[in-house]
Structure 1
């Protein structure tokens, strides 16, 4: 055996002694328990991660559901607002039409009253003019009647004088 092979044998023997010492002191149990503990910790972390993932998925699903509900509610609010706006527009249109009709009716009544008043004023003016004209005519007729009576009395007196 040469020196190189002899060194390899001593390294192998030293390694076996080292492994024997480790086994004697139970280092392999410590390593196995540390590896088991690390495996358990990793498994616990994986379980926690899985639980957190499921929780996050539940939260996402709940928020999506709430979002859908909010969208549905917003849609119903918009629909109700549109219906209310249409109702208010129709109501306003009806009120405006009533207002215009009332104003038109009031204007027509005022025009009719003004017409009636104008006719009454014209009739009153015509009656006053007729009364003044009648007074004038009656005054002339009375004056003419006085004149006619005087002329007639004078003619009667002249006829009496000539006949007597």
Structure 2
């Protein structure tokens, strides 16, 4: 296998740009403008465009000021976020303290309510004992009053019965002569 150069097929329009290269092999040449290759022309055009953009229109200043404005806005937002976080932490701590205080207050209220309930129970027991004692005394007073009334009633009935019996006996056994003798005896004793 010998070194054989690859065969190149060219069209008619491409023949005008073909030159003889090493060893008589044809080479392809690219179009040039002011002696520059197309990639060099594009590079020069971009460089000129950037120079115009940065120095002619002062875009770099507007870009810089825009970036500075964004940085300032971001810093402001960060400061505001720090301030809001600090306020949120303060509020959280405040509410945690309030919750702890509320729990202590609830425990104190529960203990106070238990103490008041115990005191009310003791008072109710004392009041009920006093009421029972009072009612017992009232019942005893009523019983003794009823006894006195019954004794008095019995006495009155006994007196009435004795009086009635005396009258009957006197009426049966005393006559006018006995009355006269009794009257004389009473007068003589005076």
Partner SS for 1:105: helix
Which range moves more in the overlay, 82-91 or 104-113?
82-91
**Unpaired segments ≥5 residues, structure 2:** 1-28, 179-190
| 1:90 to 2:90 alignment | no
Q: Give the TM-score normalised by structure 2.
A: 0.64
| 1:100 to 2:132 alignment | yes
Q: Distance in 2 between matches of 1:33 and 1:60?
A: 39
Q: Distance in 2 between matches of 1:139 and 1:31?
A: 153
Q: Following TM superposition, by how much is the alpha carbon of 1:72 offset from its aligned partner in structure 2, in angstroms?
A: 2.2
Query: Superposed, which structure 2 residues align to 1:1-164 within 5 Å?
Result: 1-3=29-31, 6-25=37-56, 26-142=58-174
Q: Following TM superposition, by how much is the alpha carbon of 1:138 offset from its aligned partner in structure 2, in angstroms?
A: 4.2
Q: Distance in 1 between matches of 2:112 and 2:69?
A: 62
Which range moves more in the overlay, 78-87 or 1-10?
1-10
Q: Distance in 1 between matches of 2:73 and 2:172?
A: 142
Which range moves more in the overlay, 130-139 or 31-40?
130-139
Q: Following TM superposition, by how much is the alpha carbon of 1:46 offset from its aligned partner in structure 2, in angstroms?
A: 1.1
> Which structure has more helix as a fraction of its residues?
1
**Residues 102-159 of structure 1: per-residue CA shift (max 9 Å, x gap):** 122111111111112101211221233233334433444446x97xxxxxxxxxxxxx
**Residues 11-57 of structure 1: per-residue CA shift (max 9 Å, x gap):** 11100111122332342233223213212221221121111111111
Larger radius of gyration: 2
Q: How many residues align?
A: 145
